[in-house]
């Protein structure tokens, strides 16, 4: 059976969708596409859920006052500008309307085409045929399955770090709106390693704390240990732990760890039972143990070549807090905002690997004393190790400067407002106009002024737009004479 059907929305509008046999079906809903595939309509596998007034209220609140993809002026999330709404519209597949007839359902934007596998995605022709048009779930890219994919589908370390930032930012915004996902996992975050983008899906089952309880416990490998451990208790038992923002803060670092290190943080050699189900319960629940726990190495695989230490001290600390301090204590887990900030700082320490055969292509050069790619072992040439130490001026205290970050430079690296002025963070509101760039010209490193007013040289002379400062070891200059302009100190080769 196939053909065009019509659905009536809650506001009376009518939309069309294409009826097909065996439509894509998930755990709770099945999906039909619009004739032009610009949106999808989704109905619930169990039609009786439409009679649940709480579900209707939940979806109505999610589409309206909690919606980060809609500006506050148009009925969306509080404090949301049009700029913010546009940004997050590309980060979430957020429901846009409720279907009243022929049955209760929702309308969502269709995923952009880059989140579907293209033709010839695999090295194996039969797998390419099976994957064509399927969702890009991250398990294809972060497990042993990746060896079956074409190299161009895999992205590189930088694109995976970019996805991590994007995901942390999306979850931070969701939590700021008062929502929890409840089933954050490889199934509900689609990724595109080629572009470094990701999109969060299955939004209609979000938890609104204090108003709408969770409907699902989560997905294996991403369920917080406390939820798994108490799942046998009745739903209303006060001892049962249900999905909430704290449980998102377990799933989020699991996904980030998988993106960056291509393995699960809890699956190691340790076993607790010959019964596979019991063993899995113990590994993910009451006996969960981080494979890189520095105090207990009993679950550490023997072949760990790249570890959290190779990601730099900022991310190492966050992972320790998430999977050691906070693994069984939800209150100790880093927030999504902490992850976003830590990942952004780490982004500024990225360095291209000089080995053209390196699969990762980029790595975190967190220690200039040991500028070695951990993925392939290639050492960076000493004349390519240049670091900018950013300093911000204490308010009201002229000449007193404090650390404001570090930047590891590479050829043709762009610099933005947050590299020039204090108090600027590259979130969804940030102006992403390039203000300067780094280039290597005739063997010398240059900081080129592309659009900064008031940039000065180490001698205190004005550096006009289009001119540059030579980055020599020990050089100190002002990115801008504006009161929020950063002081930049340069170190080379060490």
Q: Quick: pLDDT tens for 212-235.
A: 767 667 899 999 999 999 988 888
Closest to 177 measured CA to CA, from 203, 159, 195, 149: 203
Query: Are 448 and 438 in contact, with CB atoms under 8 Å apart?
Result: yes
For residue 306, the model assigns a pLDDT of: 97
Assess whether 301 and 338 both reside in one domain: yes
Flag whether 329 is in a domain: yes
- Report the CATH number at residue 248: 1.10.510.10
For residue 403, the model assigns a pLDDT of: 94
Assess whether 177 and 50 both reside in one domain: no
Closest to 167 measured CA to CA, from 153, 181, 149: 181
Flag whether 96 is in a domain: yes
Assess whether 438 and 331 both reside in one domain: no
| HSE-up (13 A, CA, CB side) for residue 449 | 20
Assess whether 291 and 143 both reside in one domain: yes
pLDDT band for position 478 (cuts 50, 70, 90): very high
- Work out whether strand 476-478 and strand 468-470 pair parallel, antiparallel, or are unpaired: unpaired
* Cβ-defined contacts of 145-154 (< 8 Å, 24+): 146/262, 148/122, 148/123, 148/124, 149/121, 149/122, 149/123, 150/120, 150/121, 150/122, 150/123, 151/359, 152/194, 153/117, 153/121, 153/193, 153/194, 154/193, 154/359
Average pLDDT over residues 309-323: 98
For residue 215, the model assigns a pLDDT of: 66
Assess whether 60 and 178 both reside in one domain: no
pLDDT band for position 494 (cuts 50, 70, 90): low
**Domain count within the chain:** 3
Please name the helix (run of DSSP H) or strand (run of DSSP E) that holds residue 371, with its range, or none. none
Query: CA torsion sign, 206 to 209 to 215 to 218?
Result: positive
Flag whether 12 is in a domain: yes
Cβ neighbours of residue 188 under 8 Å, at least 6 residues apart? 181, 200, 201, 202, 219
The rounded distance, in Å, linking the Cα atoms of 373 and 434 is: 28
Q: Structure tokens of 412?
A: 């043709």
3-class secondary structure, 130: helix
Q: Residue 34: count other Cβ atoms within 10 Å of its Cβ.
A: 17
Query: Are 59 and 95 in contact, with CB atoms under 8 Å apart?
Result: yes
Query: Are 320 and 347 in contact, with CB atoms under 8 Å apart?
Result: no
| HSE-up (13 A, CA, CB side) for residue 143 | 11
3-class secondary structure, 62: helix
DSSP code of residue 335: P
Flag whether 321 is in a domain: yes
Flag whether 365 is in a domain: no
* pLDDT higher than threshold 60 for residue 1: no
Assess whether 93 and 197 both reside in one domain: no
Assess whether 307 and 261 both reside in one domain: yes
Summarize pLDDT for 102-146 with one digit per residue, the tens. 999 999 999 899 999 999 999 999 999 999 999 999 999 999 999
- Report the CATH number at residue 393: 2.60.200
**Structural domain for 41, as ranges:** 3-110
pTM over 0.85: yes
How far apart are the two ends of the chain, measured CA to CA in Å? 68
User: If you average pLDDT over every residue of the chain, what do you get?
Assistant: 93
pLDDT band for position 316 (cuts 50, 70, 90): very high
For residue 207, the model assigns a pLDDT of: 83
Flag whether 13 is in a domain: yes
- Report the CATH number at residue 8: 3.30.200
pLDDT band for position 479 (cuts 50, 70, 90): very high
The rounded distance, in Å, linking the Cα atoms of 111 and 98 is: 18
The rounded distance, in Å, linking the Cα atoms of 480 and 465 is: 12
**φ and ψ at 78, to 5 degrees?**
-60, 135
3-class secondary structure, 11: coil
Query: Could you say which of 323, 347, 371 is where a domain stops?
Result: 347
* pLDDT higher than threshold 90 for residue 412: yes
The rounded distance, in Å, linking the Cα atoms of 430 and 267 is: 38
Assess whether 42 and 95 both reside in one domain: yes
């Amino acid at each position: 059976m196939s053909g065009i059907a019509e659905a009536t929305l809650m506001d009376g509008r009518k939309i069309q969708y294409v009826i097909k046999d065996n439509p894509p079906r998930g755990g709770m809903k099945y999906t039909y596409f619009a004739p032009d595939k610009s949106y999808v309509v989704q109905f619930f596998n169990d039609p009786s859920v439409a009679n649940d007034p709480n579900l209707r209220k939940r979806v109505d609140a999610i589409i309206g006052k909690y919606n980060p993809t809609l500006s506050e002026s148009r009925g969306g999330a509080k404090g949301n500008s049009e700029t913010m709404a546009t940004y997050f519209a590309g980060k979430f597949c957020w429901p846009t309307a409720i279907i009243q007839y022929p049955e209760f359902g929702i309308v969502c934007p269709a995923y952009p085409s880059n989140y579907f596998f293209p033709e010839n995605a695999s090295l194996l022709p039969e797998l390419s045929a099976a994957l064509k048009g399927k969702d890009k779930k991250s398990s294809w890219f972060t497990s042993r399955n990746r060896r079956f994919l074409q190299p161009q589908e895999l992205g590189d370390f930088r694109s995976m770090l970019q996805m991590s930032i994007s995901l942390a930012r999306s979850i931070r915004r969701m939590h700021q709106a008062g929502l929890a996902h409840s089933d954050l996992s490889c199934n509900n975050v689609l990724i595109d390693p080629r572009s470094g983008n990701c999109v969060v899906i299955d939004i209609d089952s979000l938890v609104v704390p204090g108003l709408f309880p969770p409907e699902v416990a989560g997905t294996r490998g991403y369920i917080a240990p406390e939820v798994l451990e108490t799942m046998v208790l009745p739903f209303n038992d006060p001892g049962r732990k249900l999905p909430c923002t704290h449980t998102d803060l377990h799933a989020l670092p699991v996904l980030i760890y998988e993106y960056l290190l291509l393995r699960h943080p809890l699956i190691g050699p340790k076993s607790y039972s010959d019964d596979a189900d019991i063993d899995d319960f113990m590994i993910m629940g009451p006996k969960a143990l981080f494979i890189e726990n520095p105090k207990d190495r009993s679950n550490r695989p023997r072949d760990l070549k790249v570890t959290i230490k190779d990601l730099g001290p900022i991310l190492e600390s966050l992972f320790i807090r998430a999977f050691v301090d906070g693994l069984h204590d939800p209150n100790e887990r880093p927030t999504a905002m902490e992850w976003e900030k830590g990942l952004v700082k780490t982004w500024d320490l990225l360095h291209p690997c000089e080995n053209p055969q390196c699969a990762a292509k980029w790595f975190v050069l967190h220690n200039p004393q040991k500028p070695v790619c951990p993925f392939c072992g290639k050492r960076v040439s000493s004349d390519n190790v240049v670091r900018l130490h950013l300093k911000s001026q204490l308010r009201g205290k002229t000449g007193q400067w404090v650390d404001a970050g570090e930047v590891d430079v590479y050829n043709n690296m762009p610099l933005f407002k947050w590299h020039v002025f204090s108090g600027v963070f590259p979130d969804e509101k940030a102006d992403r106009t390039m203000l300067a760039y780094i280039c290597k010209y005739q063997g010398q490193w240059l900081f080129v002024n592309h659009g900064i007013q008031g940039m000065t040289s180490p001698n205190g002379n004005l550096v006009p737009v289009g001119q540059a400062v030579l980055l020599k070891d020990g050089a100190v200059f002002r990115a801008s004479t504006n009161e929020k302009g950063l002081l930049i100190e340069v170190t080379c080769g060490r």
